[in-house]
Amino acid sequence: MITTITLNAAIDQVYEMNSLMLGETNRVLQKLQQGGGKGINVARVIQTLGGEVFTGGFVGGPNGEKIKALLNEEKMQTGFIQIEGESRICLTVSNKQTKEITELLEDGPTIHQHEWQEMLNWIETQTERSEYFVLSGSLPKGVPMAAYAMITRLLKQKGVRVALDTSGEALKQGVEAIPFIIKPNEDEIVQLIGKQAVAQDDLIQAGEKIQELGIEHVCFSLGEKGALFVNRSGVYQVNAPKINVVNTVGSGDAFLGGLVYKLSKGGDCTDAYKWAVACGSANAAEKEIAKVQKETVQSLIKELQITKIKDR
């Protein structure tokens, strides 16, 4: 069983528009609503691929009720902790003409100390039935900056493998706890290593340094360029397939869903790397967030090549 956690769950709302002009009246062509936030999205992708997945996090207020109802409709297995605050709304504006994507992300509720403690207790009980935990997304206010580092240490003591996908200081501290997998995107790589890593050699050097800390799979997702993976045996590159891009929001979550799903099945990790890129790209071809089509993933995997660019 894979468990995913979303400390800052959201209603993910997508507005499709013909244009978006600041300072003008803009009309919405179509509105979509989903239960979201990174861990929930990862769980949706794992469920679509056929994996056994459970998803938890904090939810509260009418938005929290909506998130639970939406996930219920999708028959997702959930175990949320109810909070006093109100869950956030994350808005994606998708411009049909220019294909531009604009994201407006609320920062979400404040978590009280007793709610955080409840979460730590819940995680502890959930370890009994989980081989993997996915910790994803921004930290809500009130939760310690070391939250992911604390959870990672707790899970590792129980023999659970941790995949971490977050940003900024939470990522830096999380990395110090040595999760099994990290998946920074280009912005997060810069935050993590403190310098622009535009050249491939810089990325490889940074990835190797992080891997040597003991992180088994350092996975750099690089948008339309695909991804670079560093593990103890080498450095691997997978180029993204050419697709008709509709909405890239959730591609990182789909990437992580595909990666953890395939790793949890065992076998060669290079297959899991291809699944990750195929899922990320399959997501970018859809309007909805982290709602990949299994058939698209399977056909993209056949197109993908993985290249070992360095032995270690």
Ligand X SMILES: O=P(O)(O)OC[C@H]1O[C@](O)(COP(=O)(O)O)[C@@H](O)[C@@H]1O
Ligand Y SMILES: Nc1ncnc2c1ncn2[C@@H]1O[C@H](COP(=O)(O)OP(=O)(O)O)[C@@H](O)[C@H]1O
Q: Say how far apart CA 171 and CA 6 lie, in whole Å.
A: 15
Per-residue binder mask for ligand X (CB under 6 A), 137-176, x = binder = xx--------------------------------------
Q: Do 92 and 15 meet the contact criterion of CB atoms below 8 Å apart?
A: yes
Given 252, 259, 291, 306, the residue binding ligand X (CB under 6 A): 252
Given 29, 69, 104, 245, the residue binding ligand Y (CB under 6 A): 245
Catalytic residue among 187, 253, 268, 271: 253
Which residues ranging from 170 to 199 are in contact with ligand Y (CB under 6 A)? 185
Torsion region of 250: left, alpha or beta (phi above 0 gives left; psi -120 to 50 gives alpha):
left
Under rule CB under 6 A, residue 90 binds ligand X: yes
Under rule CB under 6 A, residue 250 binds ligand X: yes
Under rule CB under 6 A, residue 47 binds ligand X: no
Q: How far is the CB of 166 from ligand X (least distance, A)?
A: 7
**Strands across the sheet containing 88-95:** 28-36, 10-17, 88-95, 101-105
Given 35, 36, 60, 109, the residue binding ligand X (CB under 6 A): 36
Per-residue binder mask for ligand Y (CB under 6 A), 32-71, x = binder = ----------------------------------------
Under rule CB under 6 A, residue 252 binds ligand Y: yes
Active-site residue, 253 included: yes
Under rule CB under 6 A, residue 37 binds ligand X: yes
Q: Say how far apart CA 224 and CA 238 lie, in whole Å.
A: 11
Under rule CB under 6 A, residue 74 binds ligand Y: no
Based on CB atoms, which residue is closest to ligand Y, 145 or 245?
245
Q: How far is the CB of 238 from ligand Y (least distance, A)?
A: 8
Based on CB atoms, which residue is closest to ligand Y, 66 or 287?
287
Given 229, 272, 281, 306, the residue binding ligand Y (CB under 6 A): 281
Given 57, 253, 258, 292, the residue binding ligand X (CB under 6 A): 253
Which residues ranging from 96 to 125 are in contact with ligand X (CB under 6 A)? 105
Q: Please state the three-class secondary structure of the chain as a single string.
A: CEEEEECCCEEEEEEEECCCCCCCCCCEEEEEEEEECHHHHHHHHHHHHCCCEEEEEEECHHHHHHHHHHHHHCCCEEEEEECCCCCEEEEEEEECCCCCEEEEECCCCECCHHHHHHHHHHHHHHHHHCCEEEEECCCCECCCCCHHHHHHHHHHHCCCEEEEECCHHHHHHHHHCCCCEECCCHHHHHHHHCCCCCCHHHHHHHHHHHHCCCCCEEEEECHHHCEEEEECCEEEEECCCCCCCCCCCCHHHHHHHHHHHHHHCCCCHHHHHHHHHHHHHHHHCCCCCCCCCHHHHHHHHHHCCEEEEEEC
Based on CB atoms, which residue is closest to ligand Y, 151 or 276?
276
Given 81, 105, 243, 246, the residue binding ligand Y (CB under 6 A): 243
Catalytic residue numbers? 253
Residues that bind ligand Y (CB under 6 A): 185, 221-224, 226-227, 240, 243, 245, 248, 251-252, 255, 277, 280-281, 284
Positions that interact with ligand X (CB under 6 A): 8, 10, 12, 36-38, 41, 90, 105, 137-138, 249-253, 289
